[in-house]
Structure 1
Amino acid sequence: MTWPATPAALDKLGKGLVAKGKGPFTRHQVAFGELTLWASPDTVVAALTRLRDDEALRFSILIDVCGADYPERAKRFDVVYHLLSMTRNLRCRVKVETDEDTAVPSVTGVFPSADWFERETFDMYGVFFDGHPDLRRILTDYGFHGHPLRKDFPMTGYVEVRYDDELKRVVYEPVKSVEWRNWDFLSPWEGAEPGYAPLLPGDQKALPAAKEPGK
């Protein structure tokens, strides 16, 4: 199969990989011209190994590993692996569902490039990767509290950083209430200046008050 792969061809490929539950994949879906496969944490290493080594597929490049947060689910996190086959000119993704306490096996033994991707997913979402050679934060600061891409992480964060000119060093302080974070999209300063751009909803609040007749 080479590009362009039709939805029917991708669906046939997905059905063959799922193989009625006997392989490492549990289900598949074709949407927007791309194939998505699901695996469990116990089978994700076998799943990616099969996609890499199968001569008919040769998904030899791991493009990315990322997370997604669905707090309403018992298994709130998706770990998503994006793969590319240069031989077949195909892309696919593999999804694994997990919760806050269940670690997902690291795939660095299959794709060494997963190292920093898994660290980023751990840093941003708090997903643990069992067997990772160096699982520590990669984007946030030392001692950072929480995981910024979780849906329940506050937009303001928990601490703020500033340079103290008296102490001559960077200091960390608890976030104080910030008035302008309570967005008022009808606030006068949100609109454009009259005469420079079309008026937006709420701009009338910034216009000069009309004079009453006779005044």
Structure 2
Amino acid sequence: MSGHWPQTKPETGVADRVAALCAGAVVQVIEHVGELTLVIDRNALTAVVSALRDDAELRFDQLIDIAGVDYPERAERFEVNYLFLSLTTNRRIRIKLSTDDIAPVASLVPLFPVAGWFEREVYDLYGVLFEGNPDLRRILTDYGFTGHPFRKDFPLTGYVELRYSETEKRVVYEPVKLAQDFRSFDFLSPWEGTDYVLPGDEKAAPNG
């Protein structure tokens, strides 16, 4: 049918089209459970995304999300993942690239303005720099926060958090508390019966 992708290996067709439009940009093509991921050269990001958006055969016209991943053992420890959707063909694609906390990644704000807040989140949580983002500042952590909390080597103690104290009627800083509520589970099913009265059951009429 006109305007629809062919039914034979459409994912491969997308990868081939991107590779043809952006020579040398695609480093690896990964297909898994019907999903397509293109690993690309970091310096080719703008060209690849422009092709995805503007090419008449691709038309990936919506940026869904940008997410970071940390692999501390790698020389370029961070992966940046971009998720796109084509509203025309109802297809999704993931683009990913590698970087570190020094080499900047080109901002997609000129192509997709929604990328502004996504990039700020990845910067805040991982420390990835986005060159060309007009407002690259923290978005989730507190004012004056030090470090990037989604890095796998980020310490879980020794930092402070900010909150508003109803008692003192002002903003206060306190040591980070990683509280964990410990509960006792007996793994008895309420359908099979328990050896105690469940909350609320005391209101039920006794059997018989």
Normalised-by-shorter TM-score class: 0.7 to 0.9
What residue identity is the alignment partner of 2:130?
A: F
Work out whether residues 26 and 40 of structure 1, in 8 Å CA contact, stay in contact via their aligned partners in 2.
Answer: yes
| 1:65 aligned partner | 66
Structure 1 window deviating more from structure 2 (124-133 vs 18-27): it is: 18-27
Look up the SS of the partner of 1:190 in the other structure: coil
| 1:1-215 correspondence to structure 2 within 5 Å | 2=4, 8-19=9-20, 22-156=23-157, 158-161=159-162, 167-175=168-176, 190-192=183-185
Q: 1:70 to 1:166 in 2, by over 3 A?
A: same
Secondary structure in 1 matching 2:98: strand
Where does structure 2 lack aligned partners over 5 or more consecutive residues?
192-208
Contact 1:2–1:89 (Cα < 8 Å) also in 2: no
Amino acid at match of 1:59: F
Aligned amino acid, residue 169 of structure 1:
R
Amino acid paired to 2:84: L
What residue in structure 2 maps to residue 207 of structure 1?
Answer: none
Mean alpha-carbon deviation: is it higher for 146-155 or for 128-137? Answer: 146-155
Given the superposition, is the C-alpha separation of residues 58 and 150 from structure 1 closer, same or farther in structure 2, using an over 3 Å criterion?
same
Distance 1:30 1:172 in 2: 47
Partners of 2:29 and 2:162 in 1: how far apart?
A: 45
1:56 CA displacement:
0.3
SS in structure 2 opposite 1:45? helix
| Unaligned ranges ≥5, structure 1 | 184-188, 199-215
Q: Percent identity?
A: 49
Letter in 1 for 2:123: F
Partner SS for 2:95: strand
Q: Is the 8 A contact 1:159 1:174 kept in 2?
A: yes
Rounded to whole Å, the distance in 1 between the matches of 2:57 and 2:187 is 63
Describe the shift of the 1:21–1:51 C-alpha distance in structure 2 as closer, same or farther (beyond 3 A). closer
Q: Which residue of 2 is the match for residue 208 of structure 1?
A: none
CA contact (8 A) 1:67 1:125 kept: yes
Question: 1:193, 1:62 → 2: CA distance?
Answer: 46
The whole-number CA distance in structure 2 between the counterparts of 1:139 and 1:86 is 30
Tell me if the contact between 1:17 and 1:23 (Cα under 8 Å) persists in the aligned partners.
Answer: no
Question: What TM-score, normalized to structure 1?
Answer: 0.75
Q: Cα RMSD (Å) of the superposition?
A: 2.9
Sort the Cα spacing of 1:95 and 1:153 in 2 relative to 1 into closer, same or farther, 3 A.
same
Secondary structure of residue in 2 paired with 1:29: strand
Q: How big is the shift at 1:9? A: 2.6
CA distance in 1, matches of 2:113, 2:187: 57
Counterpart-to-counterpart distance in 1, 2:154 and 2:11? 37
**Matching residue of 2:206:** none
Q: TM-score, normalised by structure 2?
A: 0.78
